[in-house]
Structure 1
Amino acid sequence: MEIQTLIQSFFMLGGSVTETTSERVITLNRNPKEPDMMEKLALGLGVLNSFNIMNIDGKKYSFRLM
């Protein structure tokens, strides 16, 4: 059941996208009411970043939790 809670927490977060010519940065706002879930999400975003995801135009995607 924990993965379901993590996904629900993720979709409830606000955030923003900043785009440059070479990178797209997705910044999610941390929910201070769920510190345990936010730590797990931070680990997951670190894994995503380690994949060096790029779109078809070669723009790198980076994920941050603020």
Structure 2
Amino acid sequence: MLLDAFVGLEFACPQGKVKVDEKNYTWLYSRIAQIDEHGEFQTIVESEEQPWSKLLFPDHEEPWK
């Protein structure tokens, strides 16, 4: 199965290393920002110490299985 090929995959991205775990969730360093009145992004939250996975949708179903 194609999804099985992604398990354990790691690659470099502009925000840092991205890793795919055994459930095919990506672990990546993330930033949440707002756009100010000048059209600039202002970072509100940043995953500085460790990457995040499944943060925003913890109960999301896996329709591909």
What is the TM-score when the length of structure 2 is the normalising length?
A: 0.31
Indicate the structure (1 or 2) with the bigger Cα radius of gyration. Answer: 2
Higher RCO (C-alpha under 8 Å, 6+ residues apart): 1
Higher relative helix content: 1
Higher relative strand content: 2
